[in-house]
Amino acid sequence: MADKTVFAQLFQLISRYEFNKCVDRYRGNLRIRNFSCWDQYLAMAFAQLTGRDGLRDIEACLRSHRDKLYRMGFRGKISRSTLSDANNNRSFLIYQDFGMHLIGQARHLYREDPFTLDLDQAVFALDSTTIDLCLSVFPWAHFRKTKAGIKAHTLLDLRGSIPSFIALTPAKVHDVLALDWIPLEPGSILTMDRAYNDFERLYRIHQIPAFFVIRAKKNLAYRRVKTYRPSDKELGVRSDQLIRLTGVKSANLYPEQLRRISFVDLKLNKRFVFLTNHFKLPAIVIAEIYRKRWQIELFFKWIKQHLKIKSFYGNSANAVKTQVWIAISTYLLIAITKKKLDISEVSLHTFLHILEVNLFEQRHIKHIVTNARQQEPESPNSNQLDLFVF
């Protein structure tokens, strides 16, 4: 790989065969002579990795390295008008499907990673993040009276912080509807915030059978059946009860018993009430599972801080979804590369920054990382978001 650019090395680690399958599925290269879907993918991923501000910026930067484009993998002519047309007209489903392929690849690579909780089951967190848009420029994404936006509903595998499923919708789509789409594995555990309190959908999870850990709403109508396990105030467990719902609708929608755990986070001095259908795990483990839900918040922060999804290179729904899916694919590609090359000495944040300033270098990625580590001060003091050390 020594004669290849860092950019080419990155994309050599993913399957062109799988990418072409996605392209053929939606006839992405039909009647295309000069600028293929692969060229479009490379150009948009380059924009993500280098933080380009717009199509003109992408064009100028790539053309300034005209002599290196072939070795980077480009075969078509780069122009902002061609890239704009491709983003608007070629189905975003090409990049969505390829993103889902990369999700499967990344999850396979990280499946043996240690998890801070001693659990054999897969543990997932479900949440969404809203990407704000200008209503006058993106009228198709109308959200509120003066705002527009799209929402990324994300199921995150907490072992490795790898997304397992992502769906992009207009921001006005309610979070709870994601429970109808997510592919849950039997025996897995899903943790969510209060927005997902829908007992019909929770009962469906119970029937898979899978488990959920969710914060209860304050106005929950229920009756206590019995104390399930003794409280442990030293650990923060105030009560652990078996309950039945007593609401007119909720009792019919979820006819079986639930476990209600009242827990006080002693560090924050804040009380939480959890509902779960898992009756074997200790109450403190249930509380810790919910605490791990914050990894998905950190994932959203990382994506928004380090990838280019705050400004867009096109105004149509297809162009925006194409850009978001390629941004997600870029995150996954970096995570896959880090794992395949066994680069464990730096965080994902640091690895990304090393890559983005060395994309045109013709040295092996691992050697570049090693050299960068040797030049670091002994006690770096960084305030950057440094959350995905895997």
Structure tokens that stand for 13 in this block: 């680690």
Return phi, psi of residue 14, to 5°: -115, 160
Type of residue numbered 313: Y
What pLDDT is stored for residue 375 in this prediction? 67
- pLDDT, tens digit (0-9, with 9 covering 90-100), for 209-219: 999 999 999 99
Give me the residue label for tokens 């994902």. 348
Type of residue numbered 373: R
Cβ-contact 346, 369 below 8 angstroms? yes
Q: How far is residue 376's CA from residue 92's CA, in Å, rounded to a whole number?
A: 40
Q: How far is residue 217's CA from residue 234's CA, in Å, rounded to a whole number?
A: 25
What pLDDT is stored for residue 310 in this prediction? 63
Cβ-contact 34, 110 below 8 angstroms? no
Q: How far is residue 247's CA from residue 259's CA, in Å, rounded to a whole number?
A: 16
Structure tokens that stand for 368 in this block: 């570049």
What pLDDT is stored for residue 208 in this prediction? 96
What pLDDT is stored for residue 384 in this prediction? 46
- pLDDT, tens digit (0-9, with 9 covering 90-100), for 252-286: 999 999 999 999 998 888 999 999 999 999 999 99
Q: Using the CB atoms, write b or e for 24-54: b if 16+ within 10 Å.
A: eebebbeebeebbbbbbbbbbbbbbbbebee
Which residue positions in the chain have pLDDT lower than 70? 1-2, 309-310, 375-390
Biggest CA-to-CA distance, the chain = 74
Domain ranges for the chain, please list them: 6-95+314-374, 115-299
Q: Strand 142-144 relative to strand 189-192: parallel, antiparallel, unpaired?
A: unpaired
At the topology level of CATH, where does 115-299 sit?
Transposase Inhibitor Protein From Tn5; Chain A, domain 1 (3.90.350)
What pLDDT is stored for residue 387 in this prediction? 44
